[in-house]
Structure 1
């Protein structure tokens, strides 16, 4: 389904922001632009809307017709599929990120995601049968099973089912910022469901001030951080998508090593990552949350992350790298 962007406010000079909303990826996309020319802004937003709708169709994890469903059908049938170079590049980059994460981020777990009922618009129990989870673990499909010969994609494991829900929004953010730059815009902020990337600075060379959600009350912020030009901020949280069954909460964040959702009692409830590459930040945020307190710093180093903030179920904050330098209210 296609949605036209909603233009919320216009601007008469580059010091007044122009705001727009698009609904895509099952969430709200907010675009804020500083630019003096309204026509340029509207054209740029129209281009982003068109690109996002096409991207959503091509990379949707369970709807038919896009490139991702064609790849998954080919893998299931044990046959090669011809793909575009840009698709190959994204898959190869995701393979690199997966390896760096010790495969805690692994876009080949689509079958496991489906088992848990997260390949739908409504998430509900019951949890899958233990034997089905074990069968999946015994096969352990991974993005590492994919290889390429010329322009053809092959898989060593027929149970690989690609699902890029873990980093597709990051790629979309990178695409949007690149598109705005090509349109001649130099100051903007794009947010997809709360994950965002900045282009340039605000007027008078001000950094963007971004609130980090409180996991126990997402409408509030537990901290405010500074975001600079061409930086992205991505948060992964157990509170974002989940279902409850017989008094137990099951998050959409699945650990490929156990086949089970991450539990807030033995891991974090949210991880926020700042990085220039939104695709990397998106992948890392999920991986660091799954890694938990014992391993998250090792995985962060391997994934070349320098700024990360984790929060546990008790509200305790954990800093990695130089994130403390970005927090404007460090006492929270």
Structure 2
């Protein structure tokens, strides 16, 4: 009986999976009590579902209601949460020279990415040029308390490149409220760690953009988050060419020059949010990626170029364990 009781008291990883935000999510709780782990993870998944429904970019939601009001040239009253999200996304867009701009929802729709089962097609050239000429930007939004309006009716908000990071921060807050000290939250490759996995830190892999395996692994410590922007998750191929969902607002075309770019955010407030939005301008900047990560104070970065070359900052190289024979170029 003593041996049996000892076995029951061992800590283990309790995993909980779902499909939200158009991707697979995984909440892994390390502990001894499965009932407590299940309850905490269930609360997180309910929150993910709430966020998904509230801020969906094309199904009826608070966000689509705001977009409809903007298209009509009207102001809208939004929730405290959405007002705060829009202000933060506006700031991230400004710091990143508007390379990543959630106001470009109409551009995303033109490329057919506002559907779960898109058909490979290029956008109508005239509609694309008209939208580029309209130049919708987050800077067009006027946010006063809960009142939101736009100086530009072409603005259509899509928080798809931002919401997963915010959801990581919400998940971490809920788990801590539920007394969970050790967990790993994964939302389609955006990952945040709480505590440890026993006597070891959590270890995560960085996906190789062209192979079904990680290119490297790294330990993730309490409160840290990692996020990747890449051309290998939402994309289609047409006439032998790859078209990814990360669109360059300067050209209206899918960004070129980078297969994937990963950033590690050390423990700090809103680490989850910072692991998502700020990776986009660096990805879209191509060879100027380092300038953009510096703007956000991000020192841990790995980039895989269009030709498959690997570039990594010295700070992140010290944390990485590469898989196979990789000879990265070190960047200060």
Task: Report the TM-score when normalising by structure 2.
Answer: 0.91
The aligned residue for residue 127 of structure 1 is 122
Between the two proteins, the alignment pairs up a number of residues equal to 315
Task: Say if 2:218 is the partner of 1:222.
Answer: no
Cα distance change of structure 1 residues 147 and 320 upon mapping to structure 2, 3 Å threshold = farther
Alignment equivalent of 2:230, drawn from 217, 229, 237 = 237
C-alpha spacing 1:202/1:102, structure 2 compared with 1 (3 Å): same
Q: CA deviation at 1:175?
A: 0.8
Give the counterpart of 1:141 among 136, 143, 150: 136
Q: Which residue is equivalent to 2:330?
A: none
**Residue number in structure 1 paired with 2:4:** none
Q: Partners in 2 of 1:287 and 1:301 — Cα distance? A: 11
SS in 2 for 1:117: coil
Q: Partner of 1:305: helix, strand, or coil?
A: coil
53, 56, 73: which one pairs with 2:52?
A: 56
Deviation at 1:90, TM superposition (A): 1.1
Deviation at 1:194, TM superposition (A): 2.2
Moved more, 321-330 or 108-117: 321-330
The answer on whether the counterparts of 1:123 and 1:242 sit within 8 Å (CA) in structure 2 is no
SS at match of 2:17: strand
Q: Which deviates further from its counterpart, 18-27 or 123-132?
A: 123-132
Question: What's the counterpart of residue 5 of structure 1?
Answer: none
Q: Is the 8 A contact 2:14 2:38 kept in 1?
A: no
CA contact (8 A) 2:128 2:252 kept: yes
Deviations 1:197-246 (A, max 9, x none): 10112212x222111111111x2111111211111111111111111222
Over the aligned positions, Cα root-mean-square deviation in angstroms equals 1.5
Question: Given the alignment, which residue of 176, 186, 193 partners 1:191?
Answer: 186
Q: Give the match for residue 210 of structure 1.
A: 204
Match of 1:4 in 2: none
Which of 43, 47, 57 matches 1:47?
43
The offset of 1:284, in angstroms, is 1.8
- Which residue is 2:260 aligned to? 270
Encode CA deviations 1:235-274: one digit per residue, 9 max, x unaligned.
11111111122222211110011111012xxx11000111
Instruction: Name the CA distance, whole Å, in 2 between partners of 1:164 and 1:117.
Output: 16
Distance 1:254 1:296 in 2: 16
1:89 maps to 2:84:
yes
Whole-angstrom distance in 2 between the partners of 1:70 and 1:256? 24
Query: Superposition pairs for residues 1-332 of structure 1, below 5 Å?
Result: 12-13=8-9, 15-64=11-60, 66-204=61-199, 206-217=200-211, 219-263=212-256, 267-275=257-265, 276=267, 277-293=271-287, 295-320=288-313, 322-329=315-322, 332=326
The answer to whether the 8 Å contact 1:109/1:142 transfers is yes
* CA displacement at 1:123 relative to structure 2: 2.7
The SS at the match of 1:164 is: coil
Instruction: Give the unaligned 5+ runs of structure 2.
Output: 1-6, 327-332
Summarize deviations over 1:28-85 as a string: whole Å, max 9, x none: 1111111222222121112112111111001111001x11011101111111111122
Deviation (angstroms), 1:323: 0.9
Structure 1 residue runs without a partner (length 5+): 1-10
How high is the TM-score relative to the length of structure 1?
0.91
